[in-house]
Amino acid sequence: MYNCFSDFVCVIDSGVGGLTVLRQLQCEFPRCNYVYLADSSHCPYGVKSPQEIQHRVETLIKYFYENGAQAVVIACNTASVFAETMRSKFNLAIFDVIAPTCKQVASVTRTKKVVLLATNTTVKSRAYQKELQQFGITVTAFPCSDFVPFVEKNAVDTAECSEVVASTLSTLPQCDADTVILGCTHFPILYKKISPYAKGKKIVECCCDFQPSIIYSSKSALQTMFLTTGVAEQANNASQWFGKTNFVHVDL
Ligand code: DGL
């Protein structure tokens, strides 16, 4: 058994969207090492079947598990649906983004009526609807999988992206809700495009409840490693908004 990820917090997503969660983690826990894995060769997850997504999540977590990881953050809502199943399969601390985001939403909404923007598969899974029901919150969901490729292609600042956002969210301003959940980790990158349709409503980005007590800060110099199952150059290009990434290809 290798032990190459024992000092790292492993963060996974279908692509570069999970970097929005990595950014939060780096701010909150700057004394941790991170390894970020973008499953770019299988992106987007949000239009795949639950079986396909579960298979990919299991493959990625198994890779980290076999290489000595102690903690994995699933920085993807579509994959977070399977967090509980993964916890039952691996003796590993696995953190997801859906339950913590719902807790956050419950503390923000006053009317208990919220809008969910998420991938088609996340919406269909009803994971958010079920979790929020416990707080007496009702959800109007917008399947927004069409947004994801614009982020992956670094094409957010295009007229085509604006058109897709406009047609998908045209009825959002009339929704009887006081909060909009960005229930996909890719969507904060589209914040400027989405926010005009959420006018007057609070916007909540997803978060996780990672506990650093599991990962001790490294003996070696702090570092963040970026891995992709796709083309490294494309991942670097799509994450310019994040800063320097230096993605390295990995076959998984
Ligand atoms: N970033 C992912 C999420 O939070 C999904 C994007 C995709 O469709 O691959 O759901």
Q: What letter represents residue 188's amino acid?
A: P
Enter the tokens of residue 35. Answer: 């390894």
Pocket around ligand 1 at a 6 A CB cut-off = 13-15, 17, 43-46, 76-78, 119, 122, 145, 148, 184-186
Assign 145 a pLDDT band (cuts: 50, 70, 90). Answer: very high
Structure-token match 């493959």, residue found: 59
| Residue 75: per-residue pLDDT | 98
Question: Which of 19, 45, 208 most suits a substitution to test ligand 1, by most atoms within 8 Å of the C-beta?
Answer: 45
Enter the tokens of residue 123. Answer: 């919406």
Q: Can you give the pTM of this predicted structure? A: 0.95
Per DSSP, the residues of 20-83 read HHHHHHHHH-TTSEEEEEE-GGG---TTS-HHHHHHHHHHHHHHHHHTT-SEEEE--HHHHTTH
Q: Name residues whose C-beta falls within 8 Å of residue 56's C-beta, 6 or more positions apart in sequence.
A: 14, 39, 42, 45, 79
Assign 56 a pLDDT band (cuts: 50, 70, 90). Answer: very high
* 102 neighbors 205 (Cβ within 8 angstroms): no
Q: What mean pLDDT comes out for the span 54-66?
A: 97
Q: What mean pLDDT comes out for the span 199-215?
A: 87
Enter the tokens of residue 88. Answer: 């039952």
Please determine, for residue 70, whether its predicted confidence score (pLDDT) is greater than 90.
no
Q: Name residues whose C-beta falls within 8 Å of residue 104's C-beta, 6 or more positions apart in sequence.
A: 204, 207
Task: Name the residue with higher pLDDT: 7 or 202.
Answer: 202
Enter the tokens of residue 24. Answer: 């939060």
CA distance 11 to 2: 18
Please determine, for residue 215, whether its predicted confidence score (pLDDT) is greater than 90.
no
| Residue 220: per-residue pLDDT | 62
Please determine, for residue 216, whether its predicted confidence score (pLDDT) is greater than 60.
no
Q: What mean pLDDT comes out for the span 71-89?
A: 97
Q: What mean pLDDT comes out for the span 12-29?
A: 96
Reported as a single tens digit per residue, the pLDDT across 188-206 is: 999 999 999 999 999 999 9
